[in-house]
Amino acid sequence: MDTVAARALQREVLLGFWKAHILHHAAEGPVVGQWMIRELRRHGYEVSPGTMYPLLARLEGRGWLRCRTDPQGGARARKGYSLTPAGRRALTFLKNQVEELYREVVPGEEEAAEPR
Ligand SMILES: [Zn+2]
C-alpha cells in the first residue's frame, strides 16, 4: 500500500487499534511510551513518539490511564501508564466490539448478513 493510503488508514482506523493495544498492555502493568512504540513495531506498526505520547495523554485525559513518574528518575524520569478502573471497563467493552467485528470481517466466520 502506498504511503498516502497508509496514512489515511492510520488517521481513520488504526489510531483506534493502537489505543486498544495500549489499554490492553496497560492492564498487564505500567507501560512507558518507548516500550509501547517497540511493541507496536513488533505488530508491524511504525508509530512515532510524536504520535504515541499524545495518544497516551489522550487516554489519560479520558480517565482510562493513570500516569506515574518514577520518583528516582530525575529530570528525564520516565512516565509509566497503568489502567484505571474506568479503563478496565473501556477495555472490556472494546474486547466485545473487536470480537464482534472479527467474526463478521474475517472471512469464513461470518454469519449471513441481513437481506439488502
Ligand atoms: Zn501488543
Span from the CA of 116 to the centroid of ligand 1 (angstroms): 37
Query: Which three cell numbers mark 89?
Result: 471497563
65-69/79-83 β-pairing: antiparallel
Span from the CA of 26 to the centroid of ligand 1 (angstroms): 10
* pLDDT tens-digit series, residues 77-105: 789 999 999 999 999 999 999 999 999 89
Q: What stretches in the chain show pLDDT beneath 50?
A: none
DSSP state of 29: S
Query: Which three cell numbers mark 83?
Result: 489502567
Which residue type occupies 19? K
* Confidence at residue 109, expressed as pLDDT on a 0 to 100 scale: 55
**pTM given for the model:** 0.85
* Confidence at residue 73, expressed as pLDDT on a 0 to 100 scale: 73
Domains of the chain: 17-70+77-105 (1.10.10.10)
Span from the CA of 39 to the centroid of ligand 1 (angstroms): 6
